[in-house]
Amino acid sequence: MIITEQTIALLDQAETLAEWIESSESFQTYITTKRARLASDEARDVEREFLRMKEDYEYVQRFGKHHPDHDRIKKEMHLVKRRLDVQPEVAAFKKAERNLDKLLGEVSGLLAHSVSPKIKVPTGNPFFDEGGCSGGGSCGGGGGSCGCAV
């Protein structure tokens, strides 16, 4: 790639955009909740238990229902996963992570679709990521070039 003044200006603007995102409420909440999750003894204990149970679960899954502990491990895995999901610091972090992901997805979509409405942008939503316009709304006239049902 040949570096031009235009390329340097574009990179500077990208850095500015990154700084704006880092100063956003979504990013700040993400950082705060991440620190709280890492500092929480309870969260660390549940995460550690989850990882241990995950290893057992993956081992049992290799044998499927034929493994004698399959049903017990599967049930315990679901219980530990539920405890992890409702643990306050983990739940707050996951919510903040989804909000930041949504913001980044919207920014990515705006950038991509300002270049061309046909650019596909992963949205994190399989409904929009698979076959279609990725939420962009343009199917090239009569519908068909991107596989959308119009």
- List pLDDT tens digits, range 66-106: 999 999 999 999 999 999 999 999 999 999 999 999 999 99
Alpha-carbon distance 48 to 31, whole Å?
A: 21
pLDDT band at 148 (very low <50, low <70, confident <90, very high): very low
User: What are 95-137's pLDDT values in tens digits?
Assistant: 999 999 999 999 999 999 999 989 888 776 666 554 444 444 4
- Tell me: the pLDDT tens digits for 24-50? 999 999 999 999 999 999 999 999 999
Rounded Cα distance between 44 and 90, Å, is 9
Q: What is the pLDDT of residue 127?
A: 62
Cβ atoms of 70 and 63 within 8 Å: the answer is yes
Helix, strand, coil percentages, rounded to 5, for the chain: 70, 0, 30
Amino acid code (one letter) for 145:
S
Rg, Å, the chain Cα set: 22
Maximum Cα–Cα distance for the chain, whole Å?
A: 67
Q: What is the pLDDT of residue 3?
A: 85
CB 49 within 8 A of CB 80: yes
